[in-house]
Structure formats: structure tokens, C-alpha cells
Amino acid sequence: PIPGHFLVDWSSQHVKKIENGISLFNPYRSNQNTFAKSIVFNLTTISTTIQSLSSTTNTTDLAKSYVPIDVVLSLPMFFRLYLICRLIMLRSPLVRDASSQSLGYLNRVSFTFPFIIKAYIQQQPALCLTTFCISAFFIASWAMRACDFNEKTGHMSMVDATWLFTISFTTIGIQYLTFLINFLIDFVWFLGYGDIVPSTYCGRGIAAITGIIGVFSTALLVAVISQKLELSRSEKYVHNFVANIELAKAHKNQAANVVKFGWKVWYLKRKGKHMFIQYIQAQRKLLTSIHYMRKIKQEQRKLTDNCVTLLELYTVQRSTSTTTDETSQKVILMEHKIDTIEDHLIEINHGMINLQDKINILLDRIQQR
């Protein structure tokens, strides 16, 4: 049942005759009575409804709820908000800068509105989220007030419209965060603060769209908060270093316990006390120390794996590429030197051949004399 203990007709508002008195219900808000009064009121309403079905003499006119044609023609004017998107895109420094445009053309990146708004959300997430929520608050509140019209009471008050927007926005969005927040909201509704509902299909549609916007805003808020709570690179290094030191100390302590209790088990077994309680306790402590030692070793491996991120991989890749380039240059230089040495060896070989020829000529002349 809807909190507040009141009757709602989806198409119109009934006028009931209760205890020889005519009472007209507000189509947007119920009377804030106690729980006992609401039960009496519901029982009286049910009995009155039964009497109205059995007799046709107590019928009254219906106060219809409908959407005026002016509102139907006024709601599409909000589609002109695309001009704000166009203004943001044309005034963005990413679009007006020639260097960024050239870089985008080289990388095949189009400077469209989704890319611009993603860049703004990445740079200033809190400002973008606050601006979006405030704009949605005023637009949806006005639309909800304009859509709900009753012949007797007129339009919904602006305060009720803003409160209905707040309930629709926060309830549907925040209930996905934690069960505790959802329980608190339901408890507040039970106290009587959720008694405002739209009475037309247009108002219900605005409320549904408001809930969808609330889910989107909640997801964006969670992403922003998780980004703000994430540790920086230096903080992550310090945290991992301290955690690694603590795990190393715990591993040393457990290793010492393994040696101590292992020696104690061996000593008691040698003395023939393997059936005594001291032997069983020492053996249990030995197995416990071995279990903790393996567990600490596994946590150290997980900590080492968590330290390796994309940034570390990029750093290793960059250093490896630099080392590879230096090695390639050294190899090329070495090849050049080897070619030079080879040329010198060829020249030396030619010189030795010429020297040998000259020596042979001299020896021939000496022999001829």
C-alpha cells in the first residue's frame, strides 16, 4: 500500500460522503494523522464505498485530473537545451585550439560533444555533476508541477513538486548503494513523508524519468567518489612497502615457530612421549605455524601482483625499448668497426703480398749474382 493511508484513483479523484459530511481529498497530499486515525479512516472509507455500490442515491461528481494543452505544448521547449551543448562544444579550448585539432586528425579522433563532456567530467567531475543535478532539479520540478492539474485544487504547489522530485531522484538512485539507506528511506516514508504522488500519466512519466536520472547520477557519483578515494602512485608504493615489511616480519616469526616446535616435537618423540599431551600440543602448534607461513607467502605473492599496474608495465616497456635502442646502436657501431678492421686487414694482406713479392725479387737478383 502507498504510505499515508489514502485512496488514489489513477484517472480521477473521488468525493466520498463520510458520516453525513462531504470531505474532498487533495489529489497530491494525504492528511497527516496518527496510525489509529488512519485505520478508522480506511474502515470508514471501505464501508462508505460498499454503501455507494449498494445504493445509487449518494453519487457525486468526479473532480477530474488532466494535463492542460498548454503544458503539452510547453514541455517540448526543453529540447532547445541542445543549444547549451552546442555552446559548450564551440567554446571548448579543445575545439578552438589548432594543435589539438591537428592531433585529433592524426589520431582519427572526432571532437564531438560526447568527447568534450567526457573531458570536462574527467577534469572537473564535482562541478559537472552539481550543475547537472541542479538543472535537472529545476526542470523536473517545474514539469511535474505543470503536468499535475486538478479541477478543484489546481496545479500542484512548487514545494510539493520539488519534494516529489527529491523523493523520486534519491529513492530510486540511492537504494542501489546500501540496504541501510534504503531502510532509512522506507522508515521516513512510514512516518508520513512520502505521501505525495502524481495524479496524471504525464506526472508519472516525469517521475519515472526523474528516477532514471537519479540512477545515472548515483552511478556517476559513485565513480567520482571512487576516483577521489583511490591512492596515488606514491601513496600506493608506500602502502605496499609497509605491508611487505609487516608480512616479512610475520613470515620470519612463523619460520622461527616452525623451527622451535619442530625441534620440540622431535625431542618429545625421541624421549618416547609421543602419546603425551605436550607432544600433541607441540604438533598442533607446528602445523598451525606451517599453515600461517604458507598463508603469509600467498599474501606476499598477491601484494606483488597488485603492485604491478599498467603504469609499471609502461615504465618497464619504455626502459626495455631504451635499452634495446642503445644495444642496437652499439651493435651497429661494432659492425662499423669490424668493417673498418676488415678493410685494414685486407690492406695489410696486400702489403704483405707486395712485400713478399719484393723479397722474392731481391732473392732472385742475389742468386743471379
- Residue 304 has a pLDDT of 80
Torsion angle in degrees (nearest 10) through CA of 26, 30, 34, 38: 80
The angle at the Cα of 86, spanning 80 to 92, to the nearest 5 degrees, equals 150
Question: What pLDDT was estimated at residue 218?
Answer: 81
User: How high is the pLDDT of residue 67?
Assistant: 60
Q: Write the single-letter amino acid at 243.
A: A
Q: Is the dihedral of CA 8, 10, 13, 19 positive or negative?
A: negative
What is the pLDDT at residue 253? 93
Q: What is the largest CA-CA distance in the chain?
A: 164
Of 146, 201, 136, nearest to 166 by C-alpha is 136
- Give the strands of the sheet with 12-13, arranged side by side: 12-13, 63-66, 149-150, 154-155
Name the one residue in this structure whose C-alpha cell is 579543445: 94
Cβ contact 217:132 at 8 Å: yes
Torsions phi, psi for 155 (to 5 deg): -75, 155
Cα R_g (the chain), whole angstroms: 42
> Bridge-partner residues for 191, per DSSP?
none
The predicted pLDDT at position 79 comes to 82
Domain boundaries, the chain: 12-65, 66-229, 233-307, 325-369
E strand segments, 176-295: none
Residues of the chain with pLDDT under 50: 1-63, 178-180, 184, 187-193
Per-residue confidence (pLDDT) for residue 125, from 0 to 100: 84
Main-chain phi, psi angles of 286, to 5 degrees: -65, -45
**By CB neighbour count within 10 A (0-12 exposed, 13-18 middle, 19+ buried), where does 114 fall?**
exposed
Alpha-carbon gap, residue 94 to 119, rounded angstroms: 9
Neighbours of 223 (CB within 10 A): 13
Confidence at residue 68, expressed as pLDDT on a 0 to 100 scale: 65
**What integer pLDDT is reported at residue 154 of this predicted model?**
67
The model's pTM? 0.49
Helix (H) / strand (E) containing 63: strand 63-66
Q: What is the pLDDT of residue 172?
A: 54
